[in-house]
């Protein structure tokens, strides 16, 4: 049953849509970009957040300004001497660096300089709204501040934003060129999100069209362009796509779409870990570690002799702190 707040929102958008579909579309887009509460819900989420907060105490906190906002980044091993790898970690929608901290700590344990980014409206970053332009701009700001990254690892919306940033997809945003990409449970298209949102809000055709046109106005790209099947992933950049076929939030077909872009994209099924537990799963960490340690153009160690991608389906392992 729809909540009272949802009913009120639907009613307000419906009334505004009768007066001006354009204004209703703008209002709907603003609601779409409104970020969820940062307060953990439930005992498990609170415990995970507290554990993550403890891990982040070991990091340097850096403010990253960019056009339209500011973002907070956590830097591990920033004062280390000698040559080392540099990695960027980006969380998903409704998440934060706290929830990605097990993966961040795993990467930092090997001596790498690891930057964990709180996207606008999340974690310690300011604001209450997030869209693709803000996310890609924050990623560009991290690159400008810390330099070239050997790899960038992103979960869900964060992974999609990294893919777009590395493709220089948005106009007027500085290019982002990591050596490798790791996309975890990441969507490969955006149109479905707006269609689902429009149905949930009960938007009429004119208001829905105005909502989708806001994507073009804000990001400089039409919504349809986000869904075009083309070479989004640079063939010269190795990409590891990690997904669970039991992911209930981002369908596994998104991973298959990424994998279809070419032999430079490697697909690893982390079945059994769903959409959220996947970022704390030990097999996932081990797979990422192996991928990042490889020189470019090496044989895929995740494939057997027949070229079949190995899966850790039903492996109930989880990294513990």
**pLDDT, tens digit (0-9, with 9 covering 90-100), for 193-237:** 999 999 999 999 999 999 999 999 999 999 999 998 777 899 999
* pLDDT exceeds 90 at position 96: yes
Q: In this structure, are 206 and 277 located in the same domain?
A: no
Q: Last residue of some domain: 176, 202, 226?
A: 226
Residue 205 lies in a domain: yes
Q: Is the pLDDT of residue 311 over 60?
A: no
**Same-domain pairing of 209 and 185:** no
Top-confidence residue, 218 or 2: 218
Assess contact for 158 and 242: CB atoms under 8 A. Answer: no
Asked if residue 197 belongs to a domain, the reply is: yes
| pLDDT in the model for residue 227 | 93
Q: Cα 266 from chain centroid? A: 18
pLDDT of residue 275: 97
The reply to whether 247 falls in a domain is: yes
Q: How many Cα atoms sit within 13 Å of 136 on the Cβ side? A: 23
Query: What is the domain count for the chain?
Result: 2
State which residues form the domain around 1: 1-33+190-226
Q: Output the CA–CA distances (angstroms, integers) from residue 311 to 142, 187, 252, 273, 308, in the order listed.
A: 33, 20, 14, 12, 9
d(Cα 140, Cα 159) in Å, to the nearest integer? 14
Q: pLDDT at position 83, please?
A: 83
* pLDDT digits 0-9 by tens, 269-279: 999 999 999 99
Positive or negative, the CA dihedral 240, 245, 248, 253 is: positive
pLDDT at 314 (0 to 100): 31
**161: domain CATH number?**
3.40.50.1820
User: Mean pLDDT throughout 262-270?
Assistant: 96
CB contact at 8 A, 68 and 134: yes
For residue 301, the model assigns a pLDDT of 44
- Choice between 305 and 45, residue whose per-residue pLDDT is larger: 45
* Per-residue pLDDT, 232: 83
**One domain, residues 156 and 279:** yes
Which of the four pLDDT bands, split at 50, 70 and 90, describes residue 313? very low
Residues 282, 155 share a domain: yes
For residue 79, the model assigns a pLDDT of 77
Q: Which of 226, 251, 278 is the last residue of a domain?
A: 226
Supply the pLDDT for residue 319. Answer: 38
What number is the average pLDDT over the span 93-103? 97
Bridge partner residues of 182 (DSSP):
153, 240
294-306 pLDDT, tens digit per residue, is: 986 644 444 433 3
Residue 300 lies in a domain: no
**pLDDT exceeds cutoff 50 at 316:** no
Residue 302 in any domain: the answer is no
Residue 141: inside a domain, yes or no? yes
* Residue 51 CA neighbour count, 13 Å, CB half: 17
pLDDT at 315: 31
Are 23 and 168 members of one domain? no
Instruction: Let me know: does 28 contact 211? Beta carbons within 8 Å.
Output: yes
167 and 199 both lie in a single domain: no
In a domain, 319, yes or no: no
Please tell me whether residues 263 and 210 are part of one structural domain: no
Q: Are residues 108 and 28 in the same domain?
A: no
320: pLDDT strictly greater than 80:
no
In a shared domain, residues 151 and 275: yes
Q: Which has more pLDDT, 71 or 297?
A: 71
pLDDT above 80: residue 310: no
Mean pLDDT in residue range 247-273: 96
Give yes or no: residues 174 and 198 share one domain: no
Above pLDDT 90, what percent of the chain? 82
Does the pLDDT value for residue 22 go beyond 70? Answer: yes
Element (H, E) at 239: strand 239-243
Last-in-domain residue among 168, 198, 226: 226
Is the pLDDT score of 308 beyond 90?
Answer: no
Q: Are residues 46 and 19 in the same domain?
A: no
Q: Is 306 inside any structural domain?
A: no
Q: What is the pLDDT of residue 231?
A: 76
Do residue 81 and residue 155 come from a single domain?
A: yes
């Amino acid at each position: 049953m729809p909540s009272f707040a949802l009913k009120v929102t639907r009613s307000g958008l419906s009334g505004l849509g009768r007066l001006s579909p354009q204004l209703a579309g703008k209002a709907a887009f603003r609601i779409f970009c409104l970020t969820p509460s940062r307060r953990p819900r439930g005992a498990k989420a609170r415990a995970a957040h507290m554990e993550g907060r403890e891990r982040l105490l070991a990091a340097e906190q850096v403010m990253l300004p960019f056009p339209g906002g500011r973002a907070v980044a956590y830097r591990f091993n920033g004062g280390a001497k000698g040559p080392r790898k540099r990695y960027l970690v980006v969380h998903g929608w409704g998440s934060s660096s706290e929830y990605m901290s097990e993966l961040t700590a795993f990467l930092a344990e090997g001596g790498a300089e690891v930057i964990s980014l709180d996207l606008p409206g999340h974690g310690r970053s300011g604001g209450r709204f997030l869209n693709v332009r803000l996310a890609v701009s924050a990623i560009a700001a991290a690159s400008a501040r810390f330099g070239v990254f050997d790899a960038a690892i992103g979960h869900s919306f964060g992974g999609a934003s990294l893919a777009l940033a590395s493709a220089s997809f948005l106009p007027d945003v500085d290019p982002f060129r990591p050596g490798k990409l790791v996309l975890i449970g990441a969507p490969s298209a955006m149109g479905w999100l707006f269609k689902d949102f429009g149905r949930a809000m009960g938007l009429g055709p004119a208001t829905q069209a105005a909502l989708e046109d806001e994507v073009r106005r804000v990001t400089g790209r039409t919504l349809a362009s986000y869904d075009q099947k083309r070479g989004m992933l640079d063939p010269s950049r190795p990409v590891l796509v990690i997904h669970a076929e039991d992911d209930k939030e981002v369908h596994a077909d998104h991973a298959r779409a990424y994998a279809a872009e070419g032999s430079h994209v490697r697909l690893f099924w982390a079945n059994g870990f769903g959409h959220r537990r996947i970022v704390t799963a030990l097999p996932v960490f081990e797979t990422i570690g192996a991928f990042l340690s490889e020189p470019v153009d090496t044989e895929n160690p995740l494939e057997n002799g027949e070229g079949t991608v190995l899966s850790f389906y039903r492996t109930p392992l989880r990294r513990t702190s």
